[in-house]
């Protein structure tokens, strides 16, 4: 039996475990520097900046989705950015990923969001096909950019 529920503070270690498993799947395990402490603060602190839901199969956590609000100036409304959606390999094929995705979409609709955004690695064909089957459209004309580490610090310091 599948159950989707909001994450609670006691789920922080499971969420971090899911994040690490996802990073391993994406061939980037060495890039995870998140800790239980910062996840606890960001999910359940005084000013939470993100939310998570847990997907259970037969009462056992087997996946999660982590998301936060973004804003579209063109639409003039907020949206939801789905940072991660992950289901353990042993729980795939039972509808858990679909249930997690649908719950995030339901939350977006309940909150008056006009869209939901996320990224998928270009080589992750199973995920791309999953999202296409849900009615999602790839935004191939957009290219993501990132400023991090020393470059971020240099630019940030130059603003003084």
Tokens of 2: 């599948």
Sequence spans of domains, the chain? 2-158
Q: How many CA atoms lie within 13 A of 93 on its CB side?
A: 2
Phi, psi of 139 (to 5 degrees): -105, 60
Catalytically annotated residues: 131
Of all residues in the chain, the percent with pLDDT exceeding 90 is 96
Closest CA to 63 of 28, 27, 103: 103
**Crossing angle for the helix pair 12-25 and 36-44, to the nearest 10 degrees:** 110
CATH architecture of 2-158: 3-Layer(aba) Sandwich (3.40)
Residue 121 above 90 pLDDT? yes
Q: Return d(Cα 89, Cα 98) in angstroms, integer.
A: 14
Residue 32's pLDDT band, with cuts at 50, 70 and 90, is: very high
pLDDT at 73: 96
Q: CB-based contacts of 105: which residues, under 8 Å, 6+ apart?
A: 116
8 A C-beta contact, residue 66 and residue 78: no
Residue 159's pLDDT band, with cuts at 50, 70 and 90, is: confident
């Amino acid at each position: 039996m599948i159950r989707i529920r909001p994450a609670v503070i006691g789920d922080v270690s499971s969420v971090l475990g899911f994040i690490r498993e996802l990073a391993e799947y994406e061939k980037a395990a060495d890039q995870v520097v998140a800790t239980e402490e910062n996840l606890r603060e960001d999910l359940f602190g005084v000013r939470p900046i993100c939310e998570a839901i847990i997907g259970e199969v037969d009462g056992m956590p087997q996946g999660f989705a982590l998301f936060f609000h973004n804003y579209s100036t063109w639409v003039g409304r907020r949206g939801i950015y789905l940072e991660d959606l992950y289901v353990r390999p042993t729980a795939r094929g039972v509808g858990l990923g679909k249930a997690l995705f649908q719950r995030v979409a339901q939350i977006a609709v309940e909150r008056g969001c006009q869209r939901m955004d996320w990224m998928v690695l270009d080589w992750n064909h199973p995920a791309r096909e999953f999202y296409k089957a849900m009615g999602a459209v790839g935004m191939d004309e957009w290219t993501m950019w990132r400023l991090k580490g020393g470059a971020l610090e240099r630019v940030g310091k130059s603003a003084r």
